[in-house]
Structure 1
């Protein structure tokens, strides 16, 4: 597996700022993975994404895209990347289909628009003006637009924000399928559910620096408690006990509860991504 992006000592400063917004970060995004960049507002996530999609080019450091210097790549770059911005941008007085036909004109090759719109439940509304769409419909159409050119790399910013659970699941299933077919995804989000369900690796961005580049599973193991909580019925009451995970299979008291009591729940000490987010970002703010 090769690197889709390799970033070394990336720094960037807006002309209106006194200090760098991005302060010497280094990371890579592997081909065929979903890489999540998390962090509080103003941490530098959007700036990093804008640099990677060549909207901001006055940076220092090195960025390679599939082994080529990003600055040396011309307009052909945009044939290979799809971008879904957090705020959907469409022509509100045009229908959804008219919007998609217009944006398709920017690319040499395009995806099957009907298939994409059917997947997100918008095909039957294709001739409705986008101005009459609900927020959730606009979000889904924004995703279709990002996929128009069959991108090699997909950049998504808060991709499910504003969607109900059913439609959020549809988009996440499409994204997972895209990854399984070899696509690469760079995801920025505040929604920890999306992180747990989608990301292969994540990094936390705080004050222009990166912390804890790892997998969600490894972070849960690092920040979680190695213990097991068991809830059980005894004489009509619900009781609970907590046991250390080490040697749990040989713990006689734990085994006795399993054998003799009516078990209601068993939980490991696994922490949530929300808790990890707060611990990591709060610890360096």
Structure 2
């Protein structure tokens, strides 16, 4: 669904590049995470993919269309939810969606159905300018689904949302992906990326450092440890054992055999820990 080859971009159109010769592909039907701190180049790449920035160097195809020659057919196939909500403040929630739906040449989803999905039913006749930041974000998210996109660009889709609403948004993302929608997820939130993404790309200073699945990354970079809580002489003990070292494996077997086990957890590296290890950079 997305093919990027040797993409570079300079805002000053000189030799100072904000994106530096990056290449990657997004397969049809996958959730692809584009992960990095603020200023890493995530938004620049996303804006080029969605036609908001002109392609300067490289080859980019989105939904089988060359972005050098964008057409309305391409925009009929893609949806975009921005981190910064850009709704019309003087229009009601329903009017925002009804107006936006008229911009497409394909069948669109009924606005009340979308508002209900994001928990804004009952708010349809309130002007968007009176909405809280979180409500505006949900309206922007709902709008991005109106044309039933085949390729869905999501920029920090759960930012500013309470845990319950964020969980609902993640469920919608999973449902759409199960229906075959390809998703390009831009975020610095490694937890949502780990939950949702089939593959992730780490981008820092305009360069992609690696691309792999969260599972493979945790297997490659994580320590193979297990943490066990157990009872010994009426006291709670906690120990961490290697699942690789023979002496630790033997000691773990003894603990399991001779003691009541309270909890047992594998110690996986988080995506954030892996990101820092690979890039030498944090996410802020």
Query: Displacement, 1:193?
Result: 1.9
Give the aligned CA root-mean-square deviation in angstroms: 2.1
Task: Please say if residues 40 and 281 of structure 1, whose CA atoms lie closer than 8 Å, have aligned partners that are also in contact.
Answer: no
Q: Which residues of 2 match residues 101-140 of structure 1 at below 5 A? A: 101-108=98-105, 109-140=107-138
Q: Which runs of 5+ in 2 are unaligned?
A: none
Counterparts in 2 of 1:16 and 1:105: CA distance versus 1, 3 Å: same
Contact 1:39 1:281 in 2 (8 A): no
Q: What is the alpha-carbon distance in structure 1 between the residues aligned to residue 186 and residue 14 of structure 2?
A: 23
Secondary structure of 2:55's aligned partner:
coil
- 113-122 vs 165-174, which moves further: 113-122
The alpha-carbon deviation at position 16 of structure 1 amounts to 6.3
Which of 142, 145, 162 is matched with 2:143 structurally? 145
Number of the residue aligned with 1:156: 154
How many residues align structurally? 282
- Matching of residues 164-203 of structure 1 within 5 Å: 164-203=162-201
Aligned equivalent of 1:270, options 268, 271, 276:
268
CA distance in 2, matches of 1:283, 1:132: 39
For residue 67 of structure 1, report the CA deviation from its aligned partner. 4.2
Paired position in structure 2 for 1:65: 62
Unaligned 5+ residue runs, structure 1? none
Task: Tell me, yes or no, if the aligned pair for 1:220 and 1:272 is still in contact at 8 Å.
Answer: yes
Q: 1:32 offset after TM fit, Å?
A: 0.5
Partner of 1:19: 16
Cα separation, 2, equivalents of 1:204 and 1:60: 21
Distance (whole Å) between structure 2 residues aligned to residue 94 and residue 131 of structure 1: 8
Cα separation, partners in 2 of 1:135 and 1:65, compared to 1, 3 Å: closer
- Partners of 1:174 and 1:32 in 2: CA distance: 15
From 226, 229, 237, the equivalent of 1:239 is: 237
Contact 1:206 1:284 in 2 (8 A): no
> Which of 207, 210, 217 is the matching residue for 2:208?
210
SS at match of 2:72: coil
Q: Please report the TM-score for the alignment, with normalisation by the length of structure 1.
A: 0.93
What's the offset of the Cα at 1:174?
0.7
Q: Secondary structure at the match of 1:128?
A: coil
